[in-house]
Amino acid sequence: MKGIECIELRKFITEYKQKNEKNEFKPVAVGKYGIRTRESIYSKELAKDYSKNKIIFKNTLTVGMGSRQIDIGILTDDVIYSVSPAYHTYKISGINADYLRYCLMCRNEDMFKRFVKRGSRQGKSIDLKRWLEYEIPVYDVCNQEKIVLKLNKVTNVISMRKQQLQKLDELIQARFVEMFGDPIINPFNWEKKRFDSICENLDSRRKPISSGDRVEGIYPYYGASGIVDYVEDYIFDEDILLVSEDGANLLMRSTPIAFSVSGKVWVNNHAHVVKFDEMSLQKYVEIYFSLIDISENITGSAQPKLNQAKLNAMMIPIPEKALLEQYCEFLKQIYKSKLVIKNLLQIYKHQIQM
């Protein structure tokens, strides 16, 4: 395409600060996946007064600081929401808003490396002055629309593939209940055993590293809900199960609270680390945790916590070994299917690069 020009972001966005003073517009969250309703993330309402929030509306850009990316949300629907006052809000003009969204989305990693500085949330903040000088490729209006139409089609395919992954996760849980019964009712009367009798706790080997002291590397650095960062060294090199120790997700369950990890990794003190003799038992327990309510084992209100004593004392119904191995084989086939879909997702996401 012809007629491309590299232009600074400041030419297309102007910051504004309009408050939700009458508390009339419902709040949304802005993160890795753009703008999302809070009920799609959290299982309960966190507050009732959002009068200090900022208002966002059609053709506005919202920017915040994520753990590993710049949180960007562009609203193109003719609706009005409110966002946390911690976000920066901008009006968009002189450029197709969807085109701008794709531009920023595919350059997020580059912008994160260039403009993130040590500061506020999770030890990082955005150098907004320099970020506004960031140059993006800009085509004429007609070509912007053509690019958006093409990328919308790719985005729709990506959405369908993600739905396939979700259905496979649902199949994993459905097969669990079919083979072992409802984990709460335990209709097959499987023998119950204390959690600490079926695995070895490795919490003593965990080592937290503050964000300012981490040295970037190739090894995943895990926290309560998954990978937080990548560091230059590792402390585990084996098959382990991580169980969230603290954080709101223990109650809200927006991400798994138990997840298997293999290979060279570093784990901080926000996730319990346990090791099983048999992978089949580890996978069973991982899925078991996704199907039960552990709220009665959680302590703390401001900061929910599943301490080691509470975790160790949990009684887990344990099916016979042959069934566990059969289920583990089923999981292997499902994981193969998920890997194929994830590889396709990477191909599609690569097509979005501009």
Per-residue model confidence as pLDDT tens digits over 245-266: 998 889 888 899 999 999 999 9
Dist. CA 239–CA 232, nearest whole Å: 20
38/308: higher pLDDT: 308
Instruction: Flag whether 122 is in a domain.
Output: yes
Residue 237 has pLDDT above 90, yes or no: yes
Mean pLDDT of the chain: 92
> How far apart, in Å, are the Cα atoms of 351 and each of 153, 164, 273, 348?
11, 20, 38, 5
pLDDT at 79: 95
Residue 303 has pLDDT above 70, yes or no: yes
pLDDT at 346: 87
Residue 117 φ then ψ, to 5°: -130, 160
Instruction: Flag whether 32 is in a domain.
Output: yes
Dist. CA 225–CA 247, nearest whole Å: 9
Question: Which pair of tokens denotes residue 320?
Answer: 């016979």
Both 19 and 130 in one domain: the answer is yes
Question: Which pair of tokens denotes residue 323?
Answer: 């069934």
Radius of gyration of the chain (CA): 23
95 confidence band (pLDDT: 50, 70, 90): very high
Tally of domains in the chain: 2
> How far apart, in Å, are the Cα atoms of 231 and each of 167, 206, 221, 267?
33, 14, 6, 11
Both 19 and 112 in one domain: the answer is yes
Best mean pLDDT range from 38-42, 227-231, 298-302, 307-311? 307-311
Residue 71 has pLDDT above 50, yes or no: yes
Residue 70 has pLDDT above 70, yes or no: yes
Dist. CA 3–CA 55, nearest whole Å: 35
> How far apart, in Å, are the Cα atoms of 275 and each of 259, 278, 289, 331?
12, 9, 15, 19
Both 16 and 88 in one domain: the answer is yes
For residues 35 and 57, the answer to whether their CB atoms sit within 8 Å is no
Domain that holds residue 352: 142-184+319-354
Both 64 and 152 in one domain: the answer is no
- What CATH number should be reported for the domain holding residue 63? 3.90.220.20
**C-alpha dihedral over 203, 123, 41, 315, to 10 degrees?**
10
pLDDT at 120: 43
DSSP letter at 11 equals: G
Other CB atoms within a 10 A radius of the CB of residue 58 amount to 14
Tokens 């309402």 belong to which residue? 45
Give SS3 for 230: strand
Dist. CA 272–CA 247, nearest whole Å: 13
Both 178 and 98 in one domain: the answer is no
Helix (H) or strand (E) holding 322: helix 321-351
Residue 292 φ then ψ, to 5°: -115, 160
Both 151 and 68 in one domain: the answer is no
Per-residue model confidence as pLDDT tens digits over 164-186: 999 999 999 999 999 999 999 99
Both 164 and 132 in one domain: the answer is no
Dist. CA 286–CA 243, nearest whole Å: 9
Percent residues over pLDDT 70 in the chain: 95
Dist. CA 139–CA 145, nearest whole Å: 9
**C-alpha dihedral over 315, 205, 245, 298, to 10 degrees?**
50
pLDDT at 339: 95
Instruction: Flag whether 44 is in a domain.
Output: yes
Dist. CA 93–CA 107, nearest whole Å: 20
Instruction: Flag whether 244 is in a domain.
Output: no
Instruction: Flag whether 195 is in a domain.
Output: no
Instruction: Flag whether 194 is in a domain.
Output: no
Both 118 and 33 in one domain: the answer is yes
Both 180 and 324 in one domain: the answer is yes
pTM: predicted TM-score of the whole model, two decimal places = 0.78
Residue 315 has pLDDT above 80, yes or no: yes
Helix axes 97-106, 108-115, angle to 10 degrees: 70
For residues 291 and 172, the answer to whether their CB atoms sit within 8 Å is no
DSSP letter at 191 equals: E
**Average confidence (pLDDT) over 30-54:** 76
Both 101 and 63 in one domain: the answer is yes
Percent residues over pLDDT 90 in the chain: 79
Dist. CA 239–CA 279, nearest whole Å: 8
Parallel, antiparallel or unpaired: strands 216-223 and 264-267: parallel
Nearest alpha carbon to residue 115 among 151, 162, 62, 64: 64
Parallel, antiparallel or unpaired: strands 28-31 and 34-37: antiparallel
**Average confidence (pLDDT) over 304-317:** 96
121 confidence band (pLDDT: 50, 70, 90): very low
